[in-house]
Structure 1
């Protein structure tokens, strides 16, 4: 093996070199098993735009959420209550999170615009400081008339069933009735939850003709409602990164509308302003979106230092996607690397490691790859193997492909072509192009299982279609060895399955 090929073998764990395959095919059936060489890596960097932040709500509707909504309306911080009610309970903020479920139809419609995080638990927050207690007495003096109004309002709230009826109708798919009851609740008591749902109904055209302008008006009712900077601010919990309150939900949804231009002119600048507002409301993952905007130039000019500043704050609060993005920025592994962020492999490894410990598979693979290549640290393939395995067993295709090369070559673990072939096949089924080509090599040579030139040709064709250069070179050599029957079977494999009527 030449020095250049050896260097590529260290870098790669991606695709085997083509020369050995071509020479083997030209000579006829494979003889002794050959150790693969690897080509330069194909880095599958997670696109920044795929980082999502959405609210998670529970189903069915918790009755306590309706009580919380009423208590919020009547809390002593509002002048209209005039101290009629007792003090505001901070616990009310949390129980309102259960008032409705996630709405799949809207998420499917805007999934490519909304910021989803499914990274699981994260380290404890370090950036949230304790806040002082605030007085619960209203700032506006109350006359006898005001107190009579507050008493009447209290009586209405305690007897009112419009919000519960509205959610019941929505769950039953009776959107016309739901809209009427939400409107009733809003007119009676100004429930923010009712305005939020009316915004969704108008946006999706449920129970009413779709109208983005009306949806925007309703969402702004929530966003611009009275706001107590302490009691109404979300207590962000990095162990539950998807939790949001009604105000933040409306803010994120309106940002999605402006970002995608659904029924209105696209306005990334407005989306960025709304993400900043969501941050003011206590939603720490909004800093990830702001940092992402500075990386990608969404609503602002690209700015590396500002991206790092926002992402660092989000990471300090425990948001795992921010840790991953910081690792990629310092590693210079983003599609369009913004200027002003120096290459810092030590920081990249630290952020990858933190995100990996929090359960992020992309970070686990990236950290293993740094150990495999010796980036910022002495090369440690035995440690890289551990990280690859952790991500591979959870379905990460790049990690499965990387792990397979260890079993193919016998590095770190005993050589086992059957296991290598199984891992390549798992990654290939997830559309990993290097694994497709690697599997084609093993099928063509009968390594780790039966020889199958037809399947080798099919997988090699798919790898070529996804841009694998080695596959493009090897494909003619495989085609030359196909019998007419094998060629027909290969073509049948490549035909798309007929659509079910």
Structure 2
């Protein structure tokens, strides 16, 4: 499935020209079958216990025993996941889809979702988007939040006409109600852009904050931007710096770049050229170059530049 972008305008008021990577903080991405406990792990406890500890061959053997003994759909789903991810066995989308299909026939909701995604993407089975969507709808009715989220993503694809924002909103809200940070983030994007609802900066900031608190890195960036610009929330440079730091530590190139700029300008944090240089190097390592920051660092002493490089190396560069 191609990744589906929702445009987000990034900008930091009163800053120099934005970095070259001023583009969407992230794309709304489909969620594939996650590595997560089966719905009823009690039926496959030894296999899943091994899976959790990374003993994938043991997990495979134990799940195979459960299938042979009881035709257990939970064990079938686990076997599908092992083949899908190539964990302990060679990656084999066809075998993964086969196990998902067998488990789906026996009513396992995780397998219904996974088999639906396989059909939508054509992974291991002939592509059948209509059939896959039917399975995703069934999984969504069984409270599989990733199914609801992916149905929202599919509704936004302008394949057979204009994006269906009403359906996307419904599905994202379903997934958000089940705890999906990705869905909370997507709702924030739609509220910010006024897609399917009036533009609502306050609602967008609320969705982004909820998603950020639930660990969505792109939402951390959006929360920081909203706080920096006072967009839907009171302007707070220090709080913005905290969220940019969280995003930076989580690996966000934009988070690293924006934190570097804050250190360069002394906004929300004490001005610190060494830290500006460190985070600029970390952003570059993640693929984002910023000529403004490069010029800023070029104006620093060699000692400061050396200290920035040492700090970046100590930080994992």
Indicate the TM-score class for this superposition, using the shorter chain for normalisation: 0.7 to 0.9
Match for residue 20 of structure 1?
16
Residues 249-328 of structure 1 mapped to structure 2, 5 A cutoff:
249-259=74-84, 267-328=92-153
Structure 2 length-normalised TM:
0.83
Q: CA deviation at 1:302?
A: 2.9
Cα deviation, 1:131-162, whole Å, max 9, x if unaligned, reads xxxxxxxxxxxxxxxxxxxxxxxxxxxxxxxx
Match for residue 486 of structure 1?
304
Residue 463 in structure 1 maps to residue 279 in structure 2 = no
Q: Which one has more relative contact order, counting CA pairs under 8 Å at least 6 apart?
A: 1
Residue 388 in structure 1 maps to residue 199 in structure 2 = no
Residues 374-385 of structure 1 mapped to structure 2, 5 A cutoff:
374-385=194-205
Do the aligned partners of residues 392 and 265 (structure 1) sit closer, same or farther apart at CA in structure 2, a change above 3 Å counting? closer
Residues 28-177 of structure 1 mapped to structure 2, 5 A cutoff:
39-46=22-29, 48-49=31-32, 51-55=34-38, 97=43, 102-105=48-51, 108=54
Q: CA deviation at 1:400?
A: 1.9
Match for residue 222 of structure 1?
69
Q: Is the CA contact 1:248–1:278 (under 8 Å) kept in the aligned structure 2?
A: yes
Structure 1 length-normalised TM:
0.55
Cα deviation, 1:309-328, whole Å, max 9, x if unaligned, reads 11111101211110111111
Match for residue 366 of structure 1?
186
1:345 aligns with one of 165, 169, 172: 165
CA distance in 1: counterparts of 2:28 and 2:53, whole angstroms: 24
Cα deviation, 1:207-244, whole Å, max 9, x if unaligned, reads xxxxxxxx85x4552355xxxxxxxxxxxxxxxxxxxx
Do the aligned partners of residues 341 and 483 (structure 1) sit closer, same or farther apart at CA in structure 2, a change above 3 Å counting? same
Q: Is the CA contact 1:400–1:426 (under 8 Å) kept in the aligned structure 2?
A: yes
Q: Give 1 or 2: higher helix fraction.
A: 2
Partner of 1:43, secondary structure, is: coil
Cα deviation, 1:40-73, whole Å, max 9, x if unaligned, reads 3132444534534532677xxxxxxxxxxxxxxx
CA distance in 2: counterparts of 1:321 and 1:463, whole angstroms: 30
Do the aligned partners of residues 480 and 387 (structure 1) sit closer, same or farther apart at CA in structure 2, a change above 3 Å counting? same
Structure 1 unaligned segments of length 5 or more: list them: 1-9, 23-35, 59-95, 111-198, 205-214, 225-246
Partner of 1:379, secondary structure, is: coil
Q: CA deviation at 1:342?
A: 6.2
Q: CA deviation at 1:307?
A: 2.3
Q: Is the CA contact 2:227–2:240 (under 8 Å) kept in the aligned structure 1?
A: yes
The answer to which of 381-390 and 251-260 deviates more is 251-260
Structure 2 unaligned segments of length 5 or more: list them: 1-6
Do the aligned partners of residues 341 and 358 (structure 1) sit closer, same or farther apart at CA in structure 2, a change above 3 Å counting? farther
1:414 aligns with one of 234, 243, 265: 234
CA distance in 2: counterparts of 1:56 and 1:407, whole angstroms: 39
Do the aligned partners of residues 42 and 399 (structure 1) sit closer, same or farther apart at CA in structure 2, a change above 3 Å counting? closer
Q: CA deviation at 1:107?
A: 5.5
CA distance in 1: counterparts of 2:51 and 2:112, whole angstroms: 26
Partner of 2:16, secondary structure, is: helix
Do the aligned partners of residues 310 and 202 (structure 1) sit closer, same or farther apart at CA in structure 2, a change above 3 Å counting? closer
**Count of aligned pairs between the two proteins:** 309
Q: Is the CA contact 1:294–1:304 (under 8 Å) kept in the aligned structure 2?
A: yes
Q: Is the CA contact 1:17–1:39 (under 8 Å) kept in the aligned structure 2?
A: no
Q: Is the CA contact 1:219–1:254 (under 8 Å) kept in the aligned structure 2?
A: no
CA distance in 1: counterparts of 2:106 and 2:315, whole angstroms: 49
RMSD: 3.3
CA distance in 2: counterparts of 1:202 and 1:41, whole angstroms: 40
The structure with the largest alpha-carbon Rg is 1
